[in-house]
């Protein structure tokens, strides 16, 4: 019932916002004088580009670990490859929210982190030895979740997994597919990095007004969308059964590796909080931010409430099993309690914050409760 009320409130706000202008793409500028360009510059130069560069570097290390394992499949090299996968996956939790520019154009996140991965499709691709990983039909057979299966889920023991890549009949097909998935992730990321370095950064910063296509408005929309969909719904709501008749524990992130669901979710929550306060990536330095913007607008109460909800969600997350699949089976209520804390944050971001900043929510995701 609460969820339905929230949806109605948000929809009403969107209708009011749309009725105030003949064209949301030419929304009148905000009446404040907050330096949006300074905030965009800080976002681009100390958060977004460093995150993407960091991910690119981690994926290069993943390629190196993959090459070593493919050349010599053994337990030690499998362990190293798994650790490289986890390290890159954790940085991805910071990158996924920036679905703007080239990332949006190429469907970046859809090729990097669609879970649960489609095991049937992966095995079919491997068996056939013929596939186009760039085809959208393969989005659920690539990226980090596909590697989760390929590195942890092929067999019940590590010795058997190593054997599949070394002595099985289809060993060469498995190593080729593993290599292709990793190389594709690196190519996609390099494409996004190159775009930012070759002109998109300047374009992003230059769009400092308050229109549907301005840098702030696009980024805020994607930020809220990621918080609501990527963090709240996919990591907690969907596997906990919030949107279905029963829990779906097989839909947790990191299903095959088993012990990293909590670690990945914690990184994602850190990422959204750090972006909100304007903390530069991998530092404690802060700059112009959504928090600072709200305080400039004399809305420190909203800013404080948002941070309180982030911390409440984190507190509830800390008591969870590192394996969310197991947590759902043992005590699903603890999963839904994290979801509930995150849901309060959705209202604060999607209603209170965007109203204060006079930003319209994109019509294509007025309500994501059905995710």
Mean pLDDT per block of 10 residues along the chain (371 residues) reads 42 40 37 91 98 98 98 98 98 98 98 98 97 97 98 98 97 98 98 98 96 95 98 98 97 98 98 98 96 98 98 98 98 98 98 96 60 42
Are residues 99 and 226 in contact, defined by beta-carbon separation less than 8 angstroms?
yes
The pLDDT score that the predictor gives to residue 31 is 57
Query: CATH code for 51-206?
Result: 1.20.1420.20
User: Rounded distance, CA 337 to CA 317, Å?
Assistant: 9
The pLDDT score that the predictor gives to residue 32 is 83
Peptide bond into 363 cis (omega under 30): no
The pLDDT score that the predictor gives to residue 221 is 97
Are residues 298 and 361 in contact, defined by beta-carbon separation less than 8 angstroms?
no
Which value, in Å, is the radius of gyration of the alpha carbons in the chain? 21
Cα–Cα separations (whole angstroms), residue 338 to 166, 262, 332? 42, 12, 10
Are residues 98 and 130 in contact, defined by beta-carbon separation less than 8 angstroms?
no
CA angle, 32 then 6 then 355, to 5°:
5
Among 28, 33, 7, 5, smallest CA distance to 359 is for: 28
| Prediction pTM value | 0.91
Burial classification of residue 231, based on how many CB atoms lie within 10 Å of its CB (0-12 exposed, 13-18 middle, 19 or more buried) = buried
The pLDDT score that the predictor gives to residue 310 is 98
The pLDDT score that the predictor gives to residue 362 is 81
Q: Which two tokens stand for residue 144?
A: 């980090």
Angle between helix axes 119-128 and 143-152 (nearest 10 degrees) is 80
Are residues 49 and 94 in contact, defined by beta-carbon separation less than 8 angstroms?
no
The pLDDT score that the predictor gives to residue 24 is 35
The pLDDT score that the predictor gives to residue 25 is 35
User: Rounded distance, CA 70 to CA 174, Å?
Assistant: 9
User: 301: how many CB neighbours lie within 10 A of its CB?
Assistant: 11
For CATH 1.20.1420.20, the residue range(s) in the chain are 51-206
């Amino acid at each position: 019932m609460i969820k339905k009320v929230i949806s109605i409130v948000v929809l009403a706000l969107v209708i009011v916002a749309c009725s105030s202008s003949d064209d949301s793409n030419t929304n009148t500028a905000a009446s404040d004088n907050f330096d949006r360009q300074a905030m965009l510059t800080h976002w681009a130069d100390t958060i977004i580009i460093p995150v993407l560069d960091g991910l690119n570097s981690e994926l290069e290390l993943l390629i190196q670990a993959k090459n070593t394992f493919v050349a010599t499949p053994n337990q030690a090299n499998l362990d190293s490859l798994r650790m490289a996968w986890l390290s890159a996956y954790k940085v991805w939790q910071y990158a996924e929210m920036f679905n703007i520019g080239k990332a949006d154009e190429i469907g970046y996140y859809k090729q990097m982190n669609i879970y649960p991965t489609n095991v049937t499709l992966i095995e079919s691709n491997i068996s056939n030895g013929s596939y186009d990983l760039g085809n959208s039909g393969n989005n659920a057979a690539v990226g980090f979740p596909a590697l989760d299966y390929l590195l942890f889920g092929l067999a019940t023991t590590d010795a058997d997994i190593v054997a599949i890549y070394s002595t099985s009949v289809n060993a060469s097909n498995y190593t080729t597919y593993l290599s292709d998935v990793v190389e594709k992730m690196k190519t996609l990321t390099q494409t996004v990095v190159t775009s930012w370095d070759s002109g998109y950064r300047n374009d992003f910063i230059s769009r400092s007004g308050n229109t549907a296509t301005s840098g702030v408005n696009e980024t805020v929309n994607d930020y809220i969308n990621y918080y609501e969909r990527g963090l709240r719904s996919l990591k907690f709501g969907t596997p906990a059964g919030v949107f279905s008749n029963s829990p779906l524990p097989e839909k947790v992130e990191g299903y095959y590796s088993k012990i990293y669901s909590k670690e990945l979710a914690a990184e994602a929550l850190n990422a959204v909080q750090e972006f909100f306060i304007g903390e530069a990536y991998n530092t404690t330095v802060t700059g112009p931010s959504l928090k600072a913007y709200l305080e400039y607008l004399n809305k420190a109460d909203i800013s404080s409430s948002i941070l309180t909800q982030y911390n409440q969600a984190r507190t509830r997350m800390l008591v969870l099993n590192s394996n969310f699949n197991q947590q759902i089976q043992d005590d699903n209520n603890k999963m839904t309690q994290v979801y509930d804390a995150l849901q309060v944050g959705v209202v604060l971001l999607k209603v209170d914050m965007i109203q204060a900043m006079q930003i319209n929510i994109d019509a294509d995701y007025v309500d994501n409760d059905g995710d």
